[in-house]
């Protein structure tokens, strides 16, 4: 069918989306496709979009190819690989005018279910598989690999790179390597014999990846916890955080086992989230570096124990891989939905430290840093990632670790300190930073003991309901929170290079889309200073940034503008000066959305300025 719209022409800059059935074995084939392009030196940014059931519902895998290095979701599809009849109509509708539709042509598709402004590419995958294999499961699995071979021919992907990846994938199962390579060649050879190729979308070898690594945020955070000295993890399975605990277990089996095979770590899958946070609080009280990983519903269940750790001042690290809420919400979709829930977790007056990584590299760095901060501040520390970072592989800077780096255990009195007669008052501020000295159980046979409680007490840890004792303790906790401002990761400022009255604040997984949006705005003649916030409490530089601009866009992936509310609370800023730019449909935010919303806001603003002039 000849398209009514000129076919798209692009080299190393397009989006491919795979529409599959969940549980069909397509995931490994789709990942193979993305990694093959990466091996050619061209950056890719894949995203897995999957249902919350086990098998049968639709799943998608979206791969953005961008030699320019843009890693945020672009929006729109240039080539749709439509392998799921249930979602056919919606998948076809998503293709950009001039785009391409790849499908299994073993059965004819009515013309009414196609479009006249796209190029339709049919390959009889089922017929080819049925002719080559008898086993039904093999037919399904090899059909996935076959379409990778066909796409390699259509997009001019290096088959050598694909074959190398197949060899690596099945290194432990050599019997599977030959049939998978055979399936690749069946797909490629059919296209070579029957279709014009390559199409208008092409992959051309480049050198744009550099030394970056390709990893997901959950795996990175797990390794960060190992390097950060964690020896205890208690968790309960929940999407999208489960693979983080599983990754920690895998790394501990390599790095936390003595030469004689004795484990130097404890990983406990608890009966629920309440039990898991209780175990972590107990381990932290005993002096172990401990963490739990969960998502929003788990944080809700953990609230009472989080309040105990805050008030009793026990180090706890909580990694929250956020998803859509409230309640069960959208368990397999991404959002920045737990900012307020974590900042003020538990009843009463609490304020918690939040770290906000932008990519897997910072998931590694911040997970290790959280363990230090929890010890230093003697308090719960949250690392807030989300599904987009946690479960999707992304290019990032290589992990780095200084072997000379020591762990910051904070103010811990030793047996020698206690024996020397040094004063020990568990909840007394001795130097103005709000952080008291503590001891670990068993430090000294008869000195340094205290009763840990969740009720009010005096500086010596003795039970007290006196108002002055309670107020002293609560104010000291605020002082400790203020001390954290200089200890947490500092914001990253990106000036526009030109004078501008406008700024933007953003955080976390919004980062790649924001970087691209700034470039789109620059091309539209709009200069925008940006500040990426990396932690709460906010350092004073965040206030200075807001005060230096007439209006500041606060870009978030939630409905209520949660970070914006924290900014107003922290600085007393006029809310009218902080413009909420919110995206919360469960898909990762795009540069198109950000730049479009900012331009829409600025156009009437510019007209008002012209009238005044």
- In this structure, what CATH number is given to the domain that contains residue 577? 3.40.50.920
Report pLDDT for 172: 84
Question: Is 321 contained in some domain?
Answer: yes
Q: Per residue, what are the HEC states of 27-94? A: HHHHHHHHHHHHHCCCCEEEEEECCCCCCCCEEEEEEEEECCCCCCECCCEEEEEECCHHHHHHHHHC
Provide the domain count of the chain.
Answer: 4
In 3-state terms, what secondary structure has residue 209? Answer: coil
Written as six digits, the tokens of 521 are 């705005």
Last residue of one domain, picked from the residues 137, 169, 202? 202
Last residue of one domain, picked from the residues 202, 226, 253? 202
104 & 192 share domain: yes
C-alpha distance from residue 598 to each of 414, 497, 535, 595 (Å):
56, 18, 24, 5
Report pLDDT for 611: 46
Report pLDDT for 605: 59
Report pLDDT for 56: 66
Report pLDDT for 613: 42
Question: Is 459 contained in some domain?
Answer: yes
450 & 503 share domain: no
Written as six digits, the tokens of 194 are 């029957």
Question: Is 406 contained in some domain?
Answer: no
**Full residue range of the structural domain in which residue 139 is found:** 10-202
d(CA 356, CA 364): 12
d(CA 606, CA 123): 52
126 & 18 share domain: yes
221 & 195 share domain: no
Regions in the chain scoring below 70 on pLDDT: 1-3, 54-56, 605-613
What is the distance of C-alpha 66 from the center of its chain?
Answer: 20
- pTM value is 0.95
Q: Phi, psi (5° rounding) for residue 401?
A: -150, 130
258 & 110 share domain: no
501 & 481 share domain: no
Report pLDDT for 459: 97
Question: Is 207 contained in some domain?
Answer: no
Pairing state of beta strands 232-235 and 266-269?
A: parallel
Looking at the DSSP bridge assignments, the partners of residue 581 are 555
d(CA 350, CA 513): 33
Written as six digits, the tokens of 124 are 């009889």
Question: Is 139 contained in some domain?
Answer: yes
230 & 155 share domain: no
Map tokens 């401002």 to a residue.
485
Question: Is 2 contained in some domain?
Answer: no
383 & 234 share domain: yes
d(CA 314, CA 159): 55
pLDDT digits (tens, 9 = 90+) for 336-386: 999 999 999 999 999 999 999 999 999 999 999 999 999 999 999 999 999
Question: Is 496 contained in some domain?
Answer: yes
Question: Is 95 contained in some domain?
Answer: yes
95 & 180 share domain: yes
479 & 499 share domain: no
308 & 390 share domain: yes
Cβ atoms 142, 129 nearer than 8 A: yes
Cβ atoms 58, 51 nearer than 8 A: yes
Map tokens 């811990």 to a residue.
412
61 & 106 share domain: yes
Last residue of one domain, picked from the residues 472, 488, 504? 488
């Amino acid at each position: 069918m000849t398209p009514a719209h000129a076919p798209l022409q692009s080299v190393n800059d397009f989006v491919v989306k795979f529409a599959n059935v969940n549980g069909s074995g397509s995931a490994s084939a789709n990942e193979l496709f993305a990694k093959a392009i990466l091996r050619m030196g061209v950056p890719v940014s894949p995203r897995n979009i999957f249902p919350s059931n086990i098998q049968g519902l639709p799943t998608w895998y979206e791969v953005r190819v961008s030699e320019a290095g843009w890693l945020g979701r672009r929006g729109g599809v240039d080539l749709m690989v439509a392998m799921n009849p249930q979602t056919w109509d919606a998948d076809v509708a998503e293709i950009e005018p001039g785009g391409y539709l790849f499908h299994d042509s073993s059965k004819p598709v009515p013309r009414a279910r196609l479009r006249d402004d796209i190029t339709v590419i049919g390959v009889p995958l089922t017929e080819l598989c049925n002719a080559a294999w008898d086993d039904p499961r093999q037919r399904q699995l090899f059909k996935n690999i076959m379409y990778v071979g066909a796409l390699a021919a259509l997009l001019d992907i290096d088959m050598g790179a694909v074959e190398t990846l197949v060899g690596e994938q099945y290194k432990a199962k050599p019997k599977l390597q030959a049939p998978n390579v055979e399936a690749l060649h069946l797909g490629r050879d059919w296209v070579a014999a029957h279709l014009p190729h390559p199409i208008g979308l092409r992959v051309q070898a480049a050198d744009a990846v550099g030394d970056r690594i390709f990893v997901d945020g959950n795996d990175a955070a797990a390794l960060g916890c190992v390097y950060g000295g964690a020896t205890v993890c208690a968790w309960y399975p929940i999407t999208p955080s489960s693979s983080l605990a599983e990754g920690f277990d895998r790394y501990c089996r390599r790095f936390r086992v003595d030469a004689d095979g004795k484990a130097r770590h404890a990983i406990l899958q608890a009966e629920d989230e309440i039990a898991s946070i209780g175990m972590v609080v107990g381990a932290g009280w005993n002096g172990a570096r401990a963490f739990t990983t969960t998502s929003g519903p788990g944080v809700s269940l953990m609230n009472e124990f989080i309040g105990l750790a805050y008030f009793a001042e026990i180090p706890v690290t909580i990694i929250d891989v956020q998803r859509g809420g409230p309640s069960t919400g959208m368990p397999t979709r991404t959002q920045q939905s737990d900012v307020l829930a974590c900042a003020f977790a538990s009843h009463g007056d609490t304020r918690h430290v939040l770290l906000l990584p932008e990519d897997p590299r910072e998931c590694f760095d911040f997970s290790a840093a959280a363990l230090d901060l929890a010890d230093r501040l003697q308090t719960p520390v949250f690392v807030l990632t989300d599904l987009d970072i946690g479960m999707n592989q992304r290019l990032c800077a290589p992990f780095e670790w200084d072997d000379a780096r020591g762990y910051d255990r904070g103010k811990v009195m030793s047996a020698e300190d206690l024996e020397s007669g040094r004063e020990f008052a568990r909840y007394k501020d001795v130097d103005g930073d709000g952080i008291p000295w503590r001891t670990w159980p068993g430090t000294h046979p008869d000195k340094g003991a205290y009763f840990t409680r969740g009720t009010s007490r005096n500086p010596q840890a003795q039970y007290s309901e006196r108002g002055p004792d309670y107020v002293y303790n609560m104010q000291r906790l605020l002082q400790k929170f203020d001390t954290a401002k200089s200890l947490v990761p500092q914001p990253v400022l990106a000036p526009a290079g030109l004078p501008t009255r406008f700024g933007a604040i953003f955080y976390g997984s919004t980062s790649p889309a924001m970087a691209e949006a700034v470039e789109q705005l620059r091309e539209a003649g709009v200069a925008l200073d940006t500040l990426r916030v990396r932690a709460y409490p906010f350092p004073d530089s965040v206030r200075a940034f807001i005060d230096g601009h007439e209006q500041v866009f606060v870009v978030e992936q939630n409905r209520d503008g949660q970070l914006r509310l924290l900014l107003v609370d922290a600085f007393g800023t006029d809310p009218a000066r902080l413009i909420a730019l919110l995206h919360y449909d469960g898909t990762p935010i795009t540069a198109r959305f950000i730049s479009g919303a900012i331009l829409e806001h600025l156009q009437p603003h510019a007209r008002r300025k012209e009238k005044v002039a």
